[in-house]
Amino acid sequence: MKLNLELQNKTNAKFADKKLLTQVGKQVLKIFNQAEACVSLTIFYVDENEIKQINKNYRNIDKITDVISFRLIDNPKNLPITKENFLLDYDEASKTIYLGEIFICEQVATKQASEFENTPFREALELFIHGFLHILGCDHHEEKETLIMKNYEEQMIKYLNEKNIM
């Protein structure tokens, strides 16, 4: 398994660093049966203005949100994300397949943390997990999809608790 992660903190957010995001991201891949994956993605910590603008430009929704993900590959059969299965998406220089981008709003994560009795740090991690699951193909438009995604999220929350990542 290989996960190259780029982190761009466009705020003063004191959220997870690249090392921890990579550790958690690898666990997401593992529970998603992607242990052979060789992938990369970018995470952005942004402010309310930027996430609102992204939401308006790309989703035609003129409001602030907590997390937005942009998936760059489709994998409806959940094939292993490897060079052999995604040759056209494979980057020879990094030896990975670029999956997409996740934007996490610092202010919304901080506000939601108190609502969900989390620390802002932990809330941002849970938003990263949610966004990464979207990139891997999970959704929550229909009840069946929601249950599947919720199951993955619960497995990851258990992992965070076991590792005492707060």
* pLDDT for residue 103: 98
**69: pLDDT strictly greater than 90:** yes
Residue 75's pLDDT band (boundaries 50, 70, 90)? confident
* pLDDT for residue 18: 92
Every domain of the chain and the residues it spans = 2-162
Query: What is the torsion angle, in degrees rounded to the nearest 10, for the CA atoms of residue 96, residue 101, residue 107 and residue 112?
Result: -80
**166: pLDDT strictly greater than 80:** no
**145: pLDDT strictly greater than 80:** yes
* pLDDT for residue 76: 82
Of 3.90.440.10, 3.40.390.30, 3.40.50.300, 1.20.1290.10, which CATH number belongs to 2-162? 3.40.390.30
> pLDDT tens for residues 88-123?
999 999 999 999 999 999 999 999 998 988 899 999
**125: pLDDT strictly greater than 90:** yes
Question: DSSP 3-state assignment of 125?
Answer: helix
Give the range among 13-17, 57-61, 106-110, 154-158 with minimum mean pLDDT: 13-17
**pTM to 2 decimal places:** 0.94
Residue 127's pLDDT band (boundaries 50, 70, 90)? very high
* pLDDT for residue 165: 82
